[in-house]
Amino acid sequence: MSGITYKEYVNGIETAINNNRLQFFPLDKKLRKERLLRLGKEIGVALAGFDEEDAKDFIQSSYSRILVKNSFDSIGVVLDMANWAKAIREGIKRGKE
């Protein structure tokens, strides 16, 4: 990815989510699940421009850093790690096409 490092990208994603938490973690279980699956796919498309090791690192570390961290509310975590990782991998595949 031109002009941005993997760490800068991850920091930017986390900042954007933290600043717009209710956009990604609405207080409706079904809507939250839909938005998080879409977010995972969109992140995956961008990760396609980075090394595979960086993408693997993101998949392994982002579940707790993004999903769990932002789900301490009445709705809670609506995706398991497997579905989060699957969404990211689908985005990566789409980004490489």
pLDDT score of 1:
46
pLDDT score of 2: 57
* Cα torsion through 61, 89, 83, 21, rounded to 10: 60
- Helical residues (DSSP H) of 1-97, grouped into ranges: 6-19, 21-24, 29-47, 52-62, 81-96
What mean pLDDT is predicted for residues 24-42? 98
Neighbours of 82 (CB within 10 A): 9
Compute how many other C-beta atoms are within 10 angstroms of the C-beta atom of residue 81: 15
Q: Are 88 and 58 in contact (CB under 8 A)?
A: yes
Residue 83: CB atoms within 10 Å: 15
Which pLDDT score, from 0 to 100, does residue 22 have?
96
**Extents of the domains making up the chain:** 6-96
Tell me the mean pLDDT in the region 35-55.
96
